[in-house]
Structure 1
Amino acid sequence: MGRLKWIRRTSVILLVMFLVGVCLGRDIIVAVSQDGQKEWQFSKGIELQGSGPYHALFLDEEVYAGAAENLRDLRIMNQKGQFVPYYIDSGYGEAKEQTQIYSSSLVHTAMKDGNTLLDYKITRVADNVDIQGNLLSVELPEGAFLKHIKVYGSYDGNQWELVEQSELYRTDQLVKNSIDLGSEYKYEYYRLSVLNNVEKLTFPSLQLTHNTQELEWLVHTKRGKPSFEVKQKDGFTQIIVNNENRLQITELQLFTESNNYTRSYELYDEQGVRIDTVGEQEIYQLDFKDAQISNRMITATDPIRSSFITIEINNRDDLPLDIAGFGIAYIVDKLVFEDKGEGPYKLLYGNTPATKPQYDIVNFKSHIEQEDVGLGKLSIQVKAQVPATTKEDPAWWLQQKLWFNGMIVVVSLVLIVLLIKKMNPSK
């Protein structure tokens, strides 16, 4: 009986040691798991302005540089450490565009001091409906030319008011046949004064266009000058624009010191995928005796967030352009949230594994836009403190992996032996 009692006590002691070891091992595993989780690396305080319930703030370059690519890791935190719901306003809403085109008839032509005066009467689309227009489109003569134009407007064809000054031209590759009036006018008559028209060029017809566009909200745009690199390869100039902050670039503008050139180009992202642009893919600068026409602006169809952008210019057999500088325009996102009196608030970002949150506030976006939304601003960036690397105290021998595993094996073997002996007491 004494031997059996000793066996039982020994079994209990070994079992307790085994359970303690398992618990210690579990603590080690949990600690490793917690150390592997990533926190938000950056934060910025939010300074509220205004007393309304809703507030907005524009992101800055530091946020774009530190946040995940699609801004999925943005969080607004209140003083209680709770996340505050928000939605992101990324620019234009759906645009509603309407166009009305008016024809005209040429009613009078005259020469005065070397200038040609051309008077057009706009044809109404309906009686008792005012004429409204903001763009003139002119039928151009054949051949290359450039003419300075003064545009006048009149309600009766007698009293004229100067509306705009512009140019019309045709070259081997370029054509400008429209004049933006800048504002909407209700004139029934328009006069084009073609200055210094010694060639007596004719402009047979004219159209008046009324373009209207209603936008739900306006985009917020900033401009900057990024770093770039220029390479020459097989008749092509490659301009590699650095966008490491992944800004939402909409426009790229070249500054050149070259004169009289036209070049076609292609735009590519960091993966080598072609990027669509607005209009003809050409940049040019043409110097005439008394005028210069140029277009060095590249406008993307959609905002570009690629970490670098390559502009590939086809020089054909001409010398490469002398690139003097570079500029960009980019869209800045706006965050909108509700202030429930739980400030101060701060913006957290820089957590790659974080997923994009889904908040109910986005469903009330149209209502919030009717409110008086205060525009706050972000303070300086604060980087999360990383604990200094220190020499850890030596772990207890049982917490070390080798000894812990060995202990489990020994306890398991002893328990097996004791159980066998208990099952066979005669031996």
Structure 2
Amino acid sequence: MKIKICFLLLLFAFSNSFGQQNNFNYKREIIGTNDQWHKLELPNEIFGKISPNLNDIRIIGISEQNDTLEAPYIIHSTEDQIKNVNVDFKLLNQSRDKNGYYFTFKVPTSNSINQIQLNFEQENFDWKTTLEGSQDQQNWYTLVEDYRILSINNAHTNYQFSKLNFPNANYGFYRIGIKSGEKPKLESAALFLKEIVKGKSRNYQIKKINTIENKKRKQTELDIDLGSPVLINNLKVNILESFDYYRPVHIQYVTDSTKTELGWKYNYQTLASGTLNSIEKNEFKFSNTVAQHVKIIIKNSDNEALTISNVEIGGSVYELLVRFSKPAKYFLYYGNTNARRPNYDISRFSDNIPKSITTLALGDEKIITKSETPKSEPLFADEKWLWAVMALIILILGGFTLKMIKKTDEREV
């Protein structure tokens, strides 16, 4: 009985291992592995063929000794890295003259800043501001002027823009002037240095845009087709109008679709929500998402629809940071919705990965037939060899079982 159980377990493990390797649908040869560490950029073409969570990616190699190797990797997103450094300050005084109201800040450190966030008690205002810098409060230098800050809070709109953005500045004192007929009631302020480390990005060509003016819902709907699934994380809407506007906007993407008697029904998930407005750049950022069809909904209420000149969509680049421990011919395998995310040791020691590593090229995509496996070609390229090995195992275990039965019968006699 024990022998039968061992045999079944061995047979199951062998066939299950073969099945897992055979479940990948595509592969690409990795060209030029000559160091321990390399990078691979995932091309756009594969995102429509892998699971959204990127679980089904493997790097498998065949050595000269026909050993199968799996190279561990870490997935790295190359999006921009943004860091906001809060800078200490002291509000020195508040004053006014015939031109408006003034707030003076003292920065006790030598830190540079490029942003000032202002928060007021008033919920509705539309003011022009000026920002100046000085080292001695005697000589003032203009950093920005006629800079518009705005807040609208009513039954239809809740929008605020009261952050000053300007080039890096390093002064001991900053003075903000506000042109207003009423006294601005400053609740709080914050001074920042916003640092951006630019990453790698891709801008995508839009295959088709279908614009619908939904009169019943008083909204503009843009259906965007990118042609194929790609990795996106930012979208910009360019408006032609020069007058002031503030419109709620929702950005969605198609997650799946169902064919019905009335046609295709699409299911959507929200990427971002916000306000299209004439003050800021209408740019929206969201988490990395694989999408082909994107929908933009602009709530117009009783206003005339805006004229959209164009839409820009982009995304970051996913890289694989790979450790190749042994020389072999390596391939990138992908396309298996049932695969689980691999668990590699290097994910716990990412700080030890070299900062400067070379990027490898990928060969053309090849479709894997169900009889093909990442095993070495000479022995197991043909399934007949596998069945022959299994038959041999059965014969050996069967003979061993018969021998044990004979010995048992002899003892009983």
TM-score over 0.5 for the pair: yes
Alignment check: 8 A CA contact 2:24 2:333 kept: no
Q: Structure 1's 245 and 352: CA in aligned 2 closer, same or farther, altered over 3 A? A: farther
Tell me which residue corresponds to 2:334: 349
- For residues 232-311 of structure 1, the aligned pairs below 5 Å read 232-233=213-214, 234=216, 235-242=218-225, 245-260=228-243, 261-271=245-255, 272=267, 274-275=269-270, 277=272, 281-285=274-278, 293-300=279-286, 302-311=287-296
Q: 1:85: how far off?
A: 1.4
Tell me, in whole angstroms, the C-alpha distance in 2 between the residues paired with 1:250 and 1:382: 26
Q: Structure 1's 119 and 154: CA in aligned 2 closer, same or farther, altered over 3 A? A: farther
Tell me which residue corresponds to 2:211: 230
1:102 aligns with 2:85: no
1:178 aligns with 2:163: yes
Q: 1:142: how far off?
A: 9.2
Tell me, in whole angstroms, the C-alpha distance in 1 between the residues paired with 2:145 and 2:326: 55
Tell me which residue corresponds to 1:411: none
Q: What are the superposed Cα offsets for residues 248-279 of structure 1, whole Å, 9 maximum, x if unpaired?
A: 3222222333453332123334254552636x
Match of 1:374 among 357, 373, 383: 357
SS of corresponding position for 1:247? strand
Tell me, in whole angstroms, the C-alpha distance in 2 between the residues paired with 1:91 and 1:334: 7
Q: 1:104: how far off?
A: 1.9
Tell me, in whole angstroms, the C-alpha distance in 2 between the residues paired with 1:133 and 1:277: 29
Q: What are the superposed Cα offsets for residues 193-227 of structure 1, whole Å, 9 maximum, x if unpaired?
A: 67xx6x77766769663336799x97543222333
Q: 1:62: how far off?
A: 1.4
Q: CA RMSD in A?
A: 4.2
Tell me, in whole angstroms, the C-alpha distance in 2 between the residues paired with 1:305 and 1:107: 50
Tell me which residue corresponds to 1:68: 51
Tell me which residue corresponds to 1:313: 298
SS of corresponding position for 1:159? coil
Q: Structure 1's 204 and 358: CA in aligned 2 closer, same or farther, altered over 3 A? A: closer
Q: Structure 1's 44 and 202: CA in aligned 2 closer, same or farther, altered over 3 A? A: farther
Structure 2 letter corresponding to 1:56: K
Q: 1:89: how far off?
A: 1.9
SS of corresponding position for 1:179? strand
Tell me, in whole angstroms, the C-alpha distance in 2 between the residues paired with 1:274 and 1:166: 39
Tell me which residue corresponds to 1:358: 343
Q: 1:146: how far off?
A: 5.4
Structure 2 letter corresponding to 1:87: I
SS of corresponding position for 1:88? strand
TM-score, length of structure 2 as denominator length: 0.63
Tell me, in whole angstroms, the C-alpha distance in 1 between the residues paired with 2:330 and 2:162: 54
SS of corresponding position for 1:356? coil
Alignment check: 8 A CA contact 2:59 2:333 kept: yes
Tell me, in whole angstroms, the C-alpha distance in 2 between the residues paired with 1:207 and 1:132: 20
Q: 1:282: how far off?
A: 1.2
SS of corresponding position for 1:277? strand
* Structure number with bigger Rg: 1
Q: 1:375: how far off?
A: 3.5
Q: Structure 1's 204 and 47: CA in aligned 2 closer, same or farther, altered over 3 A? A: farther
Any gaps of 5 or more consecutive residues in structure 2? 1-14, 256-266, 371-413
Q: 1:353: how far off?
A: 4.5
Tell me, in whole angstroms, the C-alpha distance in 1 between the residues paired with 2:195 and 2:130: 30
Q: Structure 1's 177 and 54: CA in aligned 2 closer, same or farther, altered over 3 A? A: same
Q: Percent identity?
A: 17
Alignment check: 8 A CA contact 2:223 2:293 kept: yes
The structure with the largest strand share of the pair is 2
- For residues 7-406 of structure 1, the aligned pairs below 5 Å read 37-47=22-32, 53-78=36-61, 80=63, 82-90=69-77, 99-100=86-87, 102-106=89-93, 116=99, 120-123=103-106, 133-138=113-118, 145=126, 147=128, 149-165=129-145, 167-170=147-150, 175-183=160-168, 185=170, 187-192=171-176, 209-211=190-192, 220-227=200-207, 228-233=209-214, 234=216, 235-242=218-225, 245-260=228-243, 261-271=245-255, 272=267, 274-275=269-270, 277=272, 281-285=274-278, 293-300=279-286, 302-340=287-325, 342=327, 345-368=330-353, 371-384=354-367
Tell me which residue corresponds to 2:399: none
SS of corresponding position for 1:241? strand
Query: After the TM superposition, which of the residue ranges 242-251 and 358-367 deviates more from structure 2?
Result: 242-251
> Aligned residues, how many?
328
Q: 1:179: how far off?
A: 0.9
